[in-house]
Amino acid sequence: MLKAVQGETMDRRDFIKVVSTAGSGFVLGFYIPYTNKLNGKTVAPIIFEPNAWIKVKSDNMVQIIVAKSEMGQGVLTSLPMIIAEEMDLDWSKIIVEKAPADQKKYGWQMTGGSNSVSGGYNKLRQAGATAREMFVMAAAQEWGILSSECKTHNGIVIHESTGRELSYGDLAKKASLQKVPKNPKLKAKQDFSIIGQNVKRTDTLPKVNGTAQFALDVQLDGMLYATVVHSPVFGGKLKSFNEASVNDISGVTNIFEIENGLAIVTQNTWAALKAKKQIEINWDEGEAAGLDSEKIRKDLLDASKEKGGVVRKEGNVKKALKLSENQIEAIYESPLQAHATMEPMNCTAYVQREKCQVWAGTQDPNGARKIASKITGLSKKQVEVNVTFLGGGFGRRAFNDFVKEAVEISNEMKKPVKLTWSREEDMQHDYYRPPSLHVMKGAFDQNNKLSVWKHRITAPSILFSQIVKMPFPFKEKVDIIAVEGAKHLPYKIPNIQVDYQMTKTLIPLGWWRSVYNSQNAFANECFMDELAEKVEKDPVQFRLELLPKSSRDTGVIKMVAEKSGWDQFKNGPNYQGISCHKSFGTWVAQVARVSVENKKVKVHEVFCAVDCGIVINPAIVKAQISSAIIYGLSATLKSKITIKNGRVAQYNFDDFEVIRMNEAPKIHIYLTESDAQPKGVGEPGLPPIAPAVVNAVYAATGNRIRELPIKLS
């Protein structure tokens, strides 16, 4: 991988300049001229490129490449921090660059599963340490001394006994000639000076001055605009359309069928959105036309009567149930959810004879490259996928349906085309969080100790219906993703059975922030509250008694109870509820404080303890957890997707309501000290919020809510 590069013309699309802002240290700003012309600027030559992630320039600036998509979670800051730490860089001399799709060079580029930091940590530390060691070797050679006599600090190698210094820029050429060390020495945690700091985000400035480039902001010379109308009923096919019905709209240039529906190509976005509303289309609605939410619910309930694939079995549930005289059963239900990212789906594509360029806010750049290559017949090398900023992802942009459409349209037009979906198409053609139904059963022995836990999850499978498309009924009885957080119940109970009943669906399903953890935590932790009440125990105490004293679950529950003053809190006028859930390697416990007035729930405060292992950037971790709490609160209190006649019944933010500022609680987040490997933070804040709020609502009203979003009658 070692190579010395002689110079570089600034023809890349990600030209980044460094901006210093008073009072807030150095902020790295992005300036990305999305034109199809070279801007002719040159930058200092790259002298030393020890691996795919690092480029050292002659002017001491170091470019750090980030091969994950920035959708708000802070990867453009946290991933460079890891490299800079091990490389001993001067943070103010870093340029962050977004990688284009290139699986060969960067490996797995899919952004999801809260794994950018956890999956990249060791690899990026290694990359930084390798480079650092090569600078040390170069300096030692220059001074004729041993490497062990050298120290590094802020991009400089120092020979302590003589006080001599050489900067990385000065050493770059010599460093590029060194042998790549196989096992560079990594820092001990106590020596970290960047990791663990509240380093400012590198992408804030362009996001506050309007220059941040989202896919929707791409502008190319001679560009056409387009929108797509999809069959309102899932799986429906286009029968016919009346082109004359949009004759009065100026700027409409072409209307044609594509695989996903009807493409309308225009000279500006407004003409496309107007024509989309007005055009007369006949659809062959297909088998989903009879589908509605009531039927979906009944199908889940029917399926839940039979045993599914068992994913966890301990002790003898049957026998223990027979012996118990104190048992309860409850059914929990969660609906379909839309992602509703702020930026509607969109993509710009330019298909030419020998190449295809794509600008997309995608979580899966290599998937986008593959699709574009398939549609155009061009090789993957001829397809360039530029990943812009993403106006929200939450799992939605892991699917490249909008990329496919843009490439198909540009392939037909042979011109650059910007495809923009209306909000209504975005709401009605999502890959939805699946609906689920959870049958819970718990029993106590004669000493009132919890002796049985049964959880049957009934839900369609994202994996087998969407990703690995298989004819139903699937041979696989178990989808390990669907049981995440249910199989891994942390409580020590002698008899446990968790099984999964997979159902069929015609609705497109996808990964929604924290995926099935959102539903399994709701069922688990609300049912725990019911069980605690059954034996008249405090919910915190009840949980702690079922957990090993030294476990990390215990750690976060104790922390949140202490910080929130759980024991001292007096119910009324506000009421409290607790929950705890581990997902994506991270433990999170939350206490919610709510009040209920006129059957309306107000969440006033949320206390939250987080154990995600080593914290790379505390400010970013807290921002992510807070974000997940508010995202989850929308699904707890307000939003759901319902189906009527095979169509989504919601269109926009008036019927798919989400939390707004006046409804956002005060959030207090506490991070544990830990030496464990860093784990996910983008999603784990979400699962505990619904049960914490629902349990608090019970404390306030005596109403057990078992269906989301909360509706008090």
Partner 1 sequence: MSEFSLIINGEQRTVNVDSDTPLLWVIRDTLGYTGTKFGCGRGLCGACTIHLDGEATRSCVTSIDMVEDNSEITTIEGLSEDNPHPIQQAWLEEDVPQCGYCQSGQIMTASALLKRNPNPDETDIDSAMKMNICRCGTYPQIKKAIFSAANNAQSSTGGDDG
Given the complex with partner 1, which of 21 and 193 has the nearer CB atom?
A: 21
Considering the complex, what minimum distance in angstroms separates the CB of residue 640 from partner 1?
16
Please state, in angstroms and rounded to a whole number, the distance separating the CA atoms of residues 59 and 53.
18
> Is 396 or 455 the residue whose CB approaches partner 1 more closely?
396
Give me the count of residues in the chain: 713
Query: At its nearest, how many Å lie between partner 1 and the CB of residue 230?
Result: 17
Minimum CB separation from partner 1 for residue 393, in Å?
7
Four-residue CA torsion sign, 510, 514, 515, 518: negative
* Nearest residue (CB) to partner 1, 27 versus 127: 27
Which has the closest alpha carbon to 672: 528, 538, 509, 559? Answer: 559
**Residue 380 CB, nearest distance to partner 1 (Å)?**
28
| 588 Cα distance to chain centroid | 17
Give the integer Cα–Cα distance in Å for 50 and 4: 8
Which residues neighbour 569 within 8 Å (Cβ) at sequence distance 6 or greater?
Answer: 576, 593
Q: Which is nearer to partner 1, 27 or 532 (CB)?
A: 27
Nearest CA-CA partner of 199 in 91, 353, 335: 91
Nearer to partner 1, 393 or 585 (CB): 393
Q: Which of 575, 578, 448 is nearest to 524 (CA)?
A: 578
CB of 165 to partner 1, least distance (A): 33
Distance CA 269, CA 377 (A): 28
Q: Least Å distance between CB 653 and partner 1?
A: 4
Q: How many CB atoms lie within 10 A of CB 335?
A: 22
Cα-Cα-Cα-Cα dihedral sign, residues 194, 196, 198, 199: positive
Q: How far is the CB of 216 from partner 1 (least distance, A)?
A: 7
Instruction: Closer to partner 1 by CB, 187 or 638: give it.
Output: 638
The residue type of 132 is R
Name the residue nearer to partner 1 (CB basis): 498 or 692. 692
Q: What burial class does residue 686 get, using C-beta atoms within 10 Å of its C-beta: 0-12 exposed, 13-18 middle, 19+ buried?
A: buried
> At closest approach, how far in Å is the CB of 611 from partner 1?
22
> CA 361, CA 215: separation in Å to the nearest integer?
6
How far apart, in whole angstroms, are the C-alpha atoms of residue 72 and residue 387?
14
Whichever of 86 and 343 has its CB closer to partner 1, that residue is 343
Give yes or no for a contact between 209 and 100, defined as CB atoms under 8 angstroms apart: no
Nearer to partner 1, 147 or 652 (CB): 652
Q: How far apart are CA 493 and CA 545, in angstroms?
A: 11
> Residue 267 Cβ, how far from partner 1 at the closest point, in Å?
9
